[in-house]
């Protein structure tokens, strides 16, 4: 068990990867320590060169670590010999950015390939392949070749193939980066469905914060080979601490553009108070503005706002101008502060 009561499925301690050359050494992963609970969709995000793809390849030893320890499902991966590692990898599925399909094989034969390697009988293979084809939504495409499939369909084949041996962990290395936004969303929905149906632990590597926002429970932010920030996705979105994390949050929330827009709007109002309301979780669905307008003798103008969803709940920001008697405005602010879970910040007081 970990400190929060979850069951640990992956424990990483002091993980290092140094690429050596004649001219210099490059540290891709630097003393990385991380615990991941069973059944989580855990996101690892970083810009290009942060070390995230090297990190995920270290987990199943597609890259050999320079140092450190990796334990997956109580088995120390870093201590296994070649034969033991081949067996252990059957419980660690992996999907890739560019699909890595066998172009001379059909959909059905691509999915069956890991089962052939594992020595599964033909009858069992065919039964398992059909189950997976249904699971990933490729019924009717069994005999198609990769060249006849769309990008999303190719990735569905990759996902089905990665699940062939009933793994406990699924590693996703930039699995949606080569796809358009609509296809990306369908693949992310599929991963959530698989996570729920199979209880699979998913580790998702990406440079796109909207991918983290949409499906992850926990997130670790990587920079220069290290984890610089980590936590519940909603908490990280609400209170990003490091500059790199703030940049990622801005990708989704458009924070800079939003603030710039409000700065322009401020000049058009010379009375009342400009207020920023911060909604978290269930409060995003409350008709708060309507309640306040009915309860207090003030006018409320909505200037700008945005609400977004995460796996842990919704959050959002709303800028409003409250106009009227100062005493009534203050009563309204006190009501929101003390009677709701909405956070209030007075951005400008023109009274």
Residue ranges per structural domain of the chain = 8-248, 255-349
- Other residues' Cβ atoms within 10 Å of the Cβ of residue 193: 13
Alpha helices in 136-254 (DSSP H): 151-162, 181-198, 209-215, 233-238, 243-253
Q: How is residue 319 annotated by DSSP? A: E
255-349 adopts what CATH topology?
Alpha-Beta Plaits (3.30.70)
Q: Which 3 state secondary structure label does DSSP give 72?
A: strand
Alpha-carbon separation of residue 60 from 18, 199, 224 (angstroms): 17, 20, 21
The whole-number average pLDDT for the span 131-135 is: 95
The percentage of the chain sitting over the pLDDT mark of 90, rounded to a whole number, equals 53
Query: Comparing 250-259, 306-315, 320-329, which segment has the lowest mean pLDDT?
Result: 250-259
Q: How is residue 138 annotated by DSSP? A: -
8-20 vs 67-72, strand pairing mode: antiparallel
| pLDDT surpassing 80 at residue 307 | no
| pLDDT surpassing 90 at residue 5 | no
For position 68, what pLDDT does the model report?
95
Q: Give the span between the Cα atoms of 171 and 93, in whole angstroms.
A: 6
201-206 vs 218-223, strand pairing mode: unpaired
Pick the CATH number of 8-248 from 2.60.40.10, 3.30.565.10, 3.30.230.70, 3.40.50.300: 3.40.50.300
pLDDT tens track for 265-296: 556 666 788 888 877 765 544 578 888 888 88
| pLDDT surpassing 80 at residue 223 | yes
For tokens 């911060």, the residue is 278
Q: Give the span between the Cα atoms of 77 and 259, in whole angstroms.
A: 47
- Other residues' Cβ atoms within 10 Å of the Cβ of residue 325: 13
For position 257, what pLDDT does the model report?
44
pLDDT tens track for 189-217: 999 999 999 999 999 999 988 899 889 99
Q: Two tokens at 107?
A: 């959909």
């Amino acid at each position: 068990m970990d400190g929060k009561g979850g069951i640990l499925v992956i424990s990483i301690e002091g993980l290092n990867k140094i690429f050596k050359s004649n001219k210099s050494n490059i540290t891709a992963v630097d003393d990385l320590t991380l615990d991941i609970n069973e059944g989580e969709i855990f996101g690892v995000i970083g810009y290009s060169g942060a070390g995230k793809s090297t990190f995920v390849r270290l987990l199943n030893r597609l890259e050999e670590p320079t140092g450190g320890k990796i334990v997956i499902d109580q088995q120390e991966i870093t201590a296994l010999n070649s034969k033991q590692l081949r067996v252990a990898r059957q419980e660690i599925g992996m999907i890739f950015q560019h699909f890595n399909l066998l172009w001379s094989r059909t959909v059905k034969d691509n999915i069956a390939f890991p089962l052939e390697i594992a020595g599964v009988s033909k009858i069992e293979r065919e039964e398992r392949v059909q189950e997976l084809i249904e699971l990933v939504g490729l019924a009717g495409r069994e005999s198609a070749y990769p060249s006849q499939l769309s990008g999303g369909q190719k990735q569905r084949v990759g996902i089905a193939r990665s699940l062939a041996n009933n793994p406990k962990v699924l590693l996703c290395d930039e699995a949606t980066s080569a796809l358009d936004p609509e296809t990306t969303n369908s693949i992310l929905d599929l991963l959530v469905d698989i996570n729920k149906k199979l209880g699979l632990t998913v580790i998702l590597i990406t440079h796109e914060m909207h991918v983290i926002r949409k499906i992850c429970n926990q997130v670790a932010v990587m920079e220069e080979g290290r984890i610089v920030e980590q936590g519940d996705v909603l908490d990280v979105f609400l209170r990003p601490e490091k500059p790199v994390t703030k940049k990622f949050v801005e990708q989704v929330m458009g924070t800079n553009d939003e603030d710039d827009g409000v700065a322009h709007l401020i000049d058009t109002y010379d009375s009342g108070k400009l207020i920023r309301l911060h909604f978290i979780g269930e409060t995003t669905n409350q008709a708060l503005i309507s309640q306040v307008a009915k309860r207090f003798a003030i006018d409320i103008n909505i200037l700008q706002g945005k609400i977004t969803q995460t796996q842990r709940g919704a959050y959002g920001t709303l800028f409003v101008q409250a106009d009227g008697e100062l005493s009534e405005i203050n009563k309204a602010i006190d009501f929101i502060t003390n009677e709701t879970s909405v956070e209030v910040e007075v951005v400008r007081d023109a009274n």
